Structure 1
């Protein structure tokens, strides 16, 4: 009887050890798979810091519609700090590259009809004018007809906290888009949009009743890839 009991106990101990070893093995395999997956993801993404004028052009063009990137003009500060034309183009879009001297990433794409308005703002800023002064000067110039803003002209802003990008896709790590549709002197009552977003992802009107009245559209952030 004692011999039979000992046999049962030995068998139970053997099964327990095997189960424990299998559990440890499965756990180790799972960790190896997770580590390998992370390593592969990093290799596939191939993030590169923006360090050259070519990097500035590639990342700036992500603000433009895909079908127009090859033919869009790119302007902005080069790596030497000079405001230049980085890439010639003849599409309806002008792309403003990220300023490499500033933290984070911010590129913009706008319809060429907005260029006089945008250029005037840059010139006044270069003169040392404050944001309020720039607003007042352009308000007067739009009202007088010196500067024209075509209703419906759109600004695409591609922005984010990082300055590294995927060399395969040119997407800036963590960057996203938002849109501005200019509607000069429109109000909430005249176009039927609230002055604050009703919910995330909903359009609203900003600066109503002024030359800078515009519809804001901020799409929800994409899931992390």
Structure 2
């Protein structure tokens, strides 16, 4: 009986030690993972730089365009000196509008070249000091009269985010994402079968229905 009690005591001690080793191992493994993740995060942050040159404006703006088309896109917008210029010549169907470096956050857009008259008219009216609703109303009348045209199905890609740092190696802007607009002048919920508000994230819906600026809006989930 005495031998059995001694054996049980030793077994208990061994189990306690083994359990302690496992706990220690698990804790050390968790700490190691946390340090690795934090280190990787810090390393990624170190690679980010401000968009402080025309070359950086072009590189980040092109992220709004489909990857296969970026090399031949025309890029326009404000340069670092504050002048609205052609930053890069192009010869395909896309025009890219670079981020305005004087504004908070980041926003670049890529659109079909057939939309340029509509976009340029908006920029001109804004330069005249017209407000959002005034611009909307003026273009509404001009589209109705035939003076201005919006091609049905023309697409606008918007690359946007609240941060203005980017990775020079990939040209990706920190935490930026894409949303898409497909212009469908005077389309409605009834004519398209789409709701006038998104049913859930990543679902298409129709915005400004029944107007010249009616469009299908698609806001993808962030990665």
Gaps of 5+ in 2: 1-7
C-alpha deviation, 1:17, in angstroms: 7.7
TM-score, normalization by structure 1: 0.86
TM-score, normalization by structure 2: 0.87
C-alpha deviation, 1:40, in angstroms: 3.5
Equivalence for 2:72: 71
Give the SS at the match of 1:80.
coil
Give the SS at the match of 1:210.
coil
Give the SS at the match of 1:107.
strand
Q: CA RMSD in A?
A: 2.5
Equivalence for 2:43: 43
Give the SS at the match of 2:124.
helix
Equivalence for 1:159: 160
Equivalence for 2:112: 111
Equivalence for 1:5: none
Gaps of 5+ in 1: 1-7
For residues 8-27 of structure 1, the aligned pairs below 5 Å read 27=27
Equivalence for 2:3: none
Equivalence for 2:53: 52
For residues 1-225 of structure 1, the aligned pairs below 5 Å read 27-28=27-28, 30-43=30-43, 46-222=47-223
C-alpha deviation, 1:102, in angstroms: 0.8
Q: Distance in 1 between matches of 2:201 and 2:40?
A: 34
Q: Distance in 1 between matches of 2:120 and 2:94?
A: 14
C-alpha deviation, 1:48, in angstroms: 1.4
Q: Distance in 2 between matches of 1:115 and 1:30?
A: 54
Give the SS at the match of 1:121.
helix
C-alpha deviation, 1:16, in angstroms: 6.5
Equivalence for 1:3: none
